[in-house]
Amino acid sequence: MPESIRRFSTVVDTLTATEVESGRANWLTWLAAARAWLFLAILFAVFEMWARFAYHTTFLFNPFNVQSIAVFAVAPLLLALGQTLVIISGGIDLSVGFTMGFAAVVFAHCLNLTAGFLGPVGSFVFGVLVALLASVIPGLINGLLIAKLKVPPFIGTLGMYGVARGIAFLLAGGTTVPVSNNILAILGNGSIFGFPIIVLVTIIIVAVMHFVLSQSRYGQHVYAVGGNRQASLRAGINVARNTIVLYILSAICAAIGGILYTARFSAGAAQAGEPLLLDSIAAVVIGGASLFGGSGTVVGTIIGALIIAVIQYGLVFVNVEPFWQFVAVGVVIVISVLVDQSQRRVGGGKVDEE
């Protein structure tokens, strides 16, 4: 074969390979960005078809189902909001579940202790303030351990998981703490124009967190720290202070979840958030955030929490054992991480390999 033809063939092969690789990268980028929406659409389609063929009714267009899914999504979403900030920064918070339970128990005790002389409104306001302030303690300790003492986030928050769990059960006496408060009953089970109040409260918290992450300088610093910690330090970002604030915000979000849990069930429980740790991480990852840090959005986390809620409620709706929800959520997490890793590998991102 003449040399000129050989060179031409080599150039053509190189260009073809480059185009294929570019097309693959674009496809993976689109899939990574849209995967949460695709999962949600597929779930709605599956349960809608099941409802129509098996029960001759509708799943998606039933107002009761929509309200139930929204209520199911409240607790994991609140924990996932703080978890979103932490994961974007390159960390993780394993203590949110029992921070939620700790806040729920503190809130319940405050309501019971002050109901006699502060009244329903006064005891409710006092309980909310004390519960939020109490939640700052585990968040602050997490932040100091990770930012100042350089303890790995997994280890530091795992230790706080045990501490918060023990203190919550000690305060609760190993049982739930029942409460009776008219304001609490309205918050937990009331509605405005058909929308549950706890959902409306969650929407307000979501709006605040979205603004913080997408519109504030602090939010830009969170992405910068997660993307490249050393570059952030050289750019003059106070990484330690930002990290401490991250874990405090995560704990406060968990405390709000505990307050709403107590309002919904008229009792504070130390184990209120125990099953929600996996859900909080899953919602963030399914929503498009990278466990390597540097990417993620509040909108994606909302979709992730809705996916988990649809799985949980949908399986109950079709009379499938609820234990299958763990299998379904686990499969979705694995798929999400595989898509993220594939995108990073094709895009030149760093992927740890054995």
Write out pLDDT tens, residues 121-150: 999 999 999 999 999 999 999 999 999 999
Q: Please give the pLDDT value at position 241.
A: 94
pLDDT above 70: residue 8: no
Is residue 326 domain-resident? yes
Could you give the percent of the chain with pLDDT greater than 70? 87
pLDDT score for 17: 45
3-state helix, strand, coil in the chain (%, to 5): 80, 0, 20
Percent of the chain topping pLDDT 90: 50
Asked if pLDDT for residue 18 goes beyond 90, the answer is no
Total structural domains within the chain: 1
Give the span between the Cα atoms of 119 and 92, in whole angstroms. Answer: 40
| Residue 300 in domain | yes
pLDDT value, residue 345: 65
Nearest to 178 by CA among 281, 108, 273, 274: 108
* 118 or 354, higher pLDDT: 118
State the pLDDT at residue 1.
52
Which has the higher per-residue pLDDT, 81 or 115?
81
Beta strands in the chain (DSSP E): 177-178, 191-192, 195-196, 267-268
- Within 10 angstroms of residue 174's Cβ, the number of other Cβ atoms is 8
pLDDT above 70 (res 251) = yes
| Range of the structural domain that residue 66 is part of | 36-344
DSSP 107-124: HHHHHHHHHHHHHHHHHH
- Mean pLDDT of all residues belonging to the chain: 85
pLDDT tens-digit profile of 328-349? 778 877 877 777 676 666 555 4
Euclidean distance between the first and final Cα of the chain, in Å? Answer: 43
pLDDT tens by residue, 184-224: 889 988 888 878 999 999 999 999 999 999 899 999 999 99
Q: Residue 31's pLDDT band (boundaries 50, 70, 90)? A: low
Residue 280 lies in a domain: yes
The answer to the question of residue 228 being in a domain is yes
- Is 115 among the domain residues? yes
Closest CA relative to residue 160, chosen from 180, 148, 146? 146
Q: Is the pLDDT of residue 44 over 80?
A: yes
Taking residue 161's Cβ as centre, other Cβ atoms within 10 Å add up to 21
Q: What residues does 178 pair with on adjacent strands?
A: 267
pLDDT for 353 equals 43
Residue 319 in domain: yes
The CATH number given to whatever domain includes residue 249 is: 1.10.3470
The residues, any chain, with a CB within 8 Å of residue 250's CB and separated by 6 or more, are: 82, 83, 85, 86, 93, 96, 139, 142
What is residue 291's predicted lDDT score, i.e. its pLDDT?
82
pLDDT surpassing 60 at residue 90:
yes
> What is the predicted pLDDT for the residue at 316?
84
Asked whether the predicted pLDDT for residue 4 surpasses 70, the reply is no
Residue 25 domain flag? no
Is 71 contained in some domain? Answer: yes
- Give the model's pLDDT for residue 274: 86
Please name the residue that has the structure tokens 């597929």.
Answer: 42
Buried b (16+ CB within 10 A) or exposed e, 303-334: bbbbbbbbbbbbbebeeeeeeebeebbeebbe
Query: How high is the pLDDT of residue 354?
Result: 41
